[in-house]
Amino acid sequence: MNKVRKIGIITGGGDCSGLNAVINGITKAAINKYGLEVVGFTKGYHGLISNNHRPLALKTVSGIMHEGGTILKSSNKDNLFNYRTVNQDGSVEYNDVSDEAVKNLKRLGIDALIVIGGDGTLTSARDFYRKGVPVVGVPKTIDNDLPATDVTFGYNTSLETITDALDKIHTTAFSHDRVMVVEVMGRNSGWLALEGGLAGSADVILLPEIPYDINAVVEKVRERDAFGRNFTIIVVSEGAKEQGGEQTIRELVEDSADNVRFGGVGQVITNQLQKLIPEHEVRYTNLAYIQRGGITSQFDRALGLLFGVNAVDLIMNGGAGRMVQLKGRKITSIPLEEVVGSGAVGETSKGGGKTVDPEGQYVQAAKAIGISFGEL
C-alpha cells in the first residue's frame, strides 16, 4: 500500500448529513498528509460503471462541512454484482458487471477505493475487495442500525430534526387537545423513534422491537385525559407493527439492494385511533425525508471528519478490506467480512442489524417516566 498515489471515493445508499464532512476529511488528509490525488465517483456505484467522476481538490471541499447530502450525489439502486439493465424491447436483465468497474478503476489509475455507505453499499465494497481492489469502508446510516460501530454519522442530525419537529407539534397538539401521530424512519430498528421520542417528550413510542396493542395506546390517551392533559404525542417507527400483525410496506423497489420501503403505519394507527377515541381529533405527520437533510450537527461533522481521516490512514497503512468504526471515544477498524454477509457475493446483514433491546436501559428509563410502548 506504500505505492498508493491516487484514491477514489464513493458515497452510496441513502443520503444523510455528515457525508460531506467525510469527503472533506478524506480529501484534505489524502492531499495534505500523503500528497495523493483524489477522485470522486458520482451517484455511487453508478459512477463507477459509467466512468462518471470528478477530481477532488482542497478548493473543491472547502466550506462543505456543514452541508447535508453529498457533493458526489448518491444512489441506492446500482449493485454492480447484480446490475439491472432494461433492453430495447422492455425486458430486464441482471448481470455481473463488476469486472468492467474494476477495469475502469485501473484505466483511471485508482490505487485504492474508500466506500461510504450502509449495509448494501458495504457489501459491494467487501465483494470488490475479494476481487483484489484495495477498499476501505466508512459506515453511514441515519438509522444507527449497523452493529459494527457504536454510532453512525447522520444519526445525531436526524435526532435533532425529530426533536425539533416534536417541539413544534407539541404546541399545536396542546392548543387543540389533539392526538398527534408522528412517523419517523428507522427500518427494522427503533433507535430514531426511541431517542427522538425521549428527547421530544413523547407520551407513546411504538417500535419494531415491541409489537403494540392499539388498546394500550387508547388506554394511555385516556389516562392523560383523566390527568388533565388532553393531548397526546405518539411517535411511531416506520417498521412498527401491531401484535399478531405485519409491518406496513409502502412499496417494493425492484432494482434496489434494499428493496423494501416501509411507510404508512402512522396513518394506519391514526385511522384506528379516530374510531376508538372519537372524542379526540387525531392527526398524522410523517417526517419522511426531512430527517435526511439539513445542516449537519456538530457531532456528525466531527465524527464524519474523523472517519474520513482514519479511512485514509487505513489505506496508507495496509488496512484495506476493513471498515472504520467508533468504539467508545476511539476510532478503530474491523474487517469488512465481519461487518456484512458471511459468504456469498451480495449477501448482506451478517448477524442482523443493531436493534433496540426491549429490556435495555433506554426503554426502561422511558417506562420509568411514564412513556407507553403500546403494551397492556
Tens-place pLDDT, residues 357-368: 999 999 999 999
pLDDT at residue 214 above 90?
A: yes
Tens-place pLDDT, residues 1-41: 458 999 999 999 989 999 999 999 999 999 999 999 999 99
Q: Which of 15, 111, 127, 143 does the annotation list as catalytic? A: 143
**What CA–CA distance (Å, rounded) separates 150 from 307?**
13
Read off the pLDDT of each residue in 125-148 and give the average, rounded to a whole number: 95
Q: Where are the domains of the chain?
A: 6-153+296-338, 157-293+357-368
**What CA–CA distance (Å, rounded) separates 129 from 45?**
14
* The predicted structure's pLDDT at residue 78: 87
Read off the pLDDT of each residue in 219-228 and give the average, rounded to a whole number: 97
Residues of the chain above pLDDT 70, percent: 94
Query: DSSP string covering 255-309, please?
Result: TSSS-EEE--HHHHHHHHHHHH-TTS-EEEEE-GGGGG-SSPPHHHHHHHHHHHH
CATH superfamily of 157-293+357-368: Phosphofructokinase domain (3.40.50.460)
Tens-place pLDDT, residues 278-308: 999 999 999 999 999 999 999 999 999 999 9
Tens-place pLDDT, residues 153-193: 999 999 999 999 999 999 999 999 999 999 999 999 999 99
pLDDT at residue 221 above 70?
A: yes
Cβ proximity of 149 and 366 under 8 Å:
no
Tens-place pLDDT, residues 304-355: 999 999 999 999 999 999 999 999 999 999 999 999 864 555 545 444 579 9
Q: Could you tell me which residues are beta bridge partners of residue 130?
A: none
**What CA–CA distance (Å, rounded) separates 192 from 144?**
8
The two domains 6-153+296-338 and 157-293+357-368 share their CATH topology (first three levels equal): yes
Which range has highest mean pLDDT (74-83, 142-151, 217-226)? 217-226
pLDDT at residue 254 above 80?
A: no
Look at the pTM and tell me if it is higher than 0.85. yes
Cβ proximity of 297 and 160 under 8 Å:
yes
pLDDT at residue 248 above 90?
A: no
98: left (phi over 0), alpha (psi -120 to 50) or beta: alpha
The domain made up of 6-153+296-338 is a member of CATH 3.90.1150.10: no
> Is 213 labeled as catalytic in the residue annotation?
no
CA dihedral (290, 295, 300, 305) in degrees, to 10, reads 130
Tens-place pLDDT, residues 77-105: 889 999 988 888 888 899 999 999 999 99
Read off the pLDDT of each residue in 103-128 and give the average, rounded to a whole number: 96
Mean residue pLDDT of the chain comes to 93
* The predicted structure's pLDDT at residue 351: 46
* The predicted structure's pLDDT at residue 2: 55
Tens-place pLDDT, residues 60-69: 999 999 999 9
* The predicted structure's pLDDT at residue 86: 87
